Amino acid sequence: MKLPTRGWVKAALHAHSKRSDGRLEPEDVVAFYRRAGFGVVALTDHNKVTKVAQPGFVPGIELEARAEGASGSYHVVVLGLDAEPPESVRRDANKLLEWSRGNGYFAFIAHPYWSMLSGEDLLRVRGYAGVEVYNHGCEVEISRGYSGPHWDYALSRGVASYGLAVDDSHNYSLDALGGWVALDIGEADGEEALKALFEGRFYASSGVAVESYEVGEGLLRVETSGAAHVKLLSGDTRGAYLSVELLERLASAEGLPVELERWEEGGARFYRVKFGGTVAEVQARGRSIVRVELRGELPARKYARLELYDGEGRGAWLNPFPAR
């Protein structure tokens, strides 16, 4: 898979309006994100579907539901629906997810960490298409915005899903413009947005831009606006951590069990490092990594995924591969 093919469009996929506990009217939520450069906006009020007649608008809802044995309740966000789900499925997470899937709606688990769900709880429910790997509102309010380990737990046990970053905005101050999804759809269109979500043609971000991403047989290549460090996480436990600082230390160290080459070309610095059957080539400018290419054995028997972070802790989260 190579991305983007059409061009990135920013999407806000979890936002509240005055129809539930948000501070702005629905139209003003859409206008707020439009002004900030977003092409796609979903309204996901608690228990209520609201539509705004605007290109790039996606109707949605957030519901609280339960599953037997779970340590807490699930907040489930459903996108693409025309009206509220029937009462009979609203409070049962598995029924709600099955109903969503059956009707072609995109459902994801909101803020597992904020909900104090465990990784195991993500195995008690089936049929969700995504998990919020980052929820900005939960992060700035109580520092429980990052749910990477929950997601990894489910992925490593064979429950495939995509990773989303969202605002979950209510106040449209600190809790907004800190988490979004970049969709490969070229132009603002709600239908295309849903299609891209189902196909995984997107990445999640809180500030790091991914310019291009390619993954195929024995090859992974990512180009970015600049990352202080890049993490490869794998279901086979073999991951990798790359930063300019670490590569510089490796370049000057002796007697390490890695082979490292370092060279400069056209104002950029390059590193080539071998670990196991994998060769990583990294291109850097200053302290920032701008390109990573992995060739050879990719540690992705179960799955692998990439996280990129800048010096301020803002990230980008790519969807796991192989895509299933």
Which of 121, 168, 175, 184 lies at the binding interface for Zn ion (CB under 5 A)?
Answer: 168
Cβ pair 125, 94 in contact under 8 A: yes
Q: Which residue number, 67 or 282, has a Cβ lying nearer to Zn ion?
A: 67
What's the min distance (Å) between Cβ of 285 and Zn ion?
A: 38
85-93, 110-118, 196-204, 253-261 -> range binding Zn ion (CB under 5 A)? 110-118
**CA neighbor of 153 nearest in space, from 208, 235, 226, 265:** 235
Residue 11 CB, shortest distance to Zn ion, in Å, is 16
Alpha helices in the chain (DSSP H): 26-35, 87-90, 93-102, 136-142, 148-156, 190-199, 244-252
Rg, C-alpha atoms of the chain: 20
Least gap, CB of 107 to Zn ion (angstroms): 13
Distance CA 151, CA 286 (A): 32
Measured from the CB atom, the residue of 10 and 75 that comes closer to Zn ion is 75
Output the residue with the shortest Cβ distance to Zn ion: 75
Considering only residues 63 to 92 of the shown chain, the ones binding Zn ion according to CB under 5 A are: 75
To Zn ion, the closest distance from the beta carbon of 13 in angstroms equals: 11
Tokens of 138: 């939960």
Binding piece for Zn ion, criterion CB under 5 A, among 34-42, 61-69, 157-165, 250-258: 61-69
| Secondary structure of residue 29 in the 3-state scheme | helix
84 vs 199, which CB is nearer to Zn ion? 84
At residue 196, φ and ψ (nearest 5 deg) are -65, -35
Smallest distance from Zn ion to CB 138, Å? 8
110: contact with Zn ion by CB under 5 A:
yes
Read off the DSSP letter of residue 161: -
Question: For Zn ion, how many residues bind (rule: CB under 5 A)?
Answer: 4
Cβ closest to Zn ion, residue 136 vs residue 291:
136
State the minimum distance, in angstroms, from the CB of residue 67 to Zn ion.
16
CB nearer Zn ion, residue 76 or residue 298: 76
Residue 115 or 205: which CB sits closer to Zn ion? 115
Relative to beta strand 74-79, strand 106-110 is: antiparallel
d(CA 113, CA 49): 25
What are the DSSP calls for 196-237, one per residue? HHHHT-EEEESSPPEEEEEEETTEEEEEEEEESEEEEEETTS
Residues binding Zn ion (CB under 5 A): 62, 75, 110, 168
